[in-house]
Structure 1
Amino acid sequence: MSDEHPYSTAFRSGDLVAVSGRLGVSAPGVLVPGGFTAECTQAFANLDEALTSMGATRADVVQVTAYLTDIADRDGLNAAFAGYFGEPRPARTCVGVASLPYGACVEIDALARVRG
């Protein structure tokens, strides 16, 4: 799989910012070691980076979709989500999937609304 992708990491249209799925990678195609918890932490850090590149922050996020290769990791996702987002938290969908790029455990995408 190529490290070059035919899509934007994040895209801003007016006051909306869409962030493509963020994996727990520390470099293109290199998953952080440590399994689900480490990948989830890195995926949220990568989400922060993508949001910042478009003038947004996690406080602007209104919708998150998380893709898990093991739906049993949902409780861990809930804990990470609660620690990452302040109140009021954005809407969230969690989907179990057969596989993710690079053998990842979790992928997270988001939609944000930037005010002003």
Structure 2
Amino acid sequence: MTRTVHGVHPTVPLSAAVQAGDFLFLSGQVPFGPDGRLVPGDIAVQTRQVLENIAAVLGKVGASMEDVVKTTVWLTDAADFAAFNSVYREYFPSLQPARSCVVSLLAVDARVEIEAIAHVPASSPGGA
């Protein structure tokens, strides 16, 4: 099996994504903006930033949100679930990936974290 690392985090020991065969495993994304700072705001603002971050990582390998087959979501407040779902649905309008959702504290002061698995066949333009 071929493993290809796509981007290494500058301060913690993790990769943005690792391609293994036909699957791309994205590390959990939190609402960091392009400047590397946490984007302030409610769950809708932070969810949108996280999903934009996921789309950016996918784009680096020629994949898109349509290639996502599984997500795991962490919310810090169960009361945010409905507002989170409203934004999430914008990014996955027709083919929703399988999903797990957990309510817990996060390692950073954010309201949401999402990790994803995408199917990116090695024969596709972005595949390994």
| TM-score scaled by length of structure 2 | 0.81
1:84 equivalent among 83, 86, 91: 91
Q: Is the 8 A contact 2:47 2:88 kept in 1?
A: no
Give matches, 1:22-101, under 5 Å. Answer: 22-26=29-33, 27-28=35-36, 30-97=37-104, 99-101=105-107
Greater relative CO (CA pairs within 8 A, separation 6+):
1
C-alpha separation in 1, matches of 2:95 and 2:77: 27
Higher Rg: 2
Q: How far does the alpha carbon of each residue in 1:20-41 deviate from its partner, in whole angstroms, 9 at most, with x for none?
A: 011111133x211222111111
Given that 2:31 and 2:112 are in contact with CA atoms closer than 8 Å, whether structure 1 keeps it comes out as yes
**How many pairs were matched up?**
113
Instruction: Name the structure with the higher helix share.
Output: 1
Identity of aligned pairs, percent?
36
The unaligned stretches of length 5 or more in structure 1 are: none
Flag structure 2 segments of 5+ consecutive residues without an equivalent: 1-8
* Equivalent residue, structure 2, for 1:4: 11
CA RMSD of aligned residues (A): 1.6
Query: Runs of at least 4 residues of structure 1 off by over 4 A?
Result: none
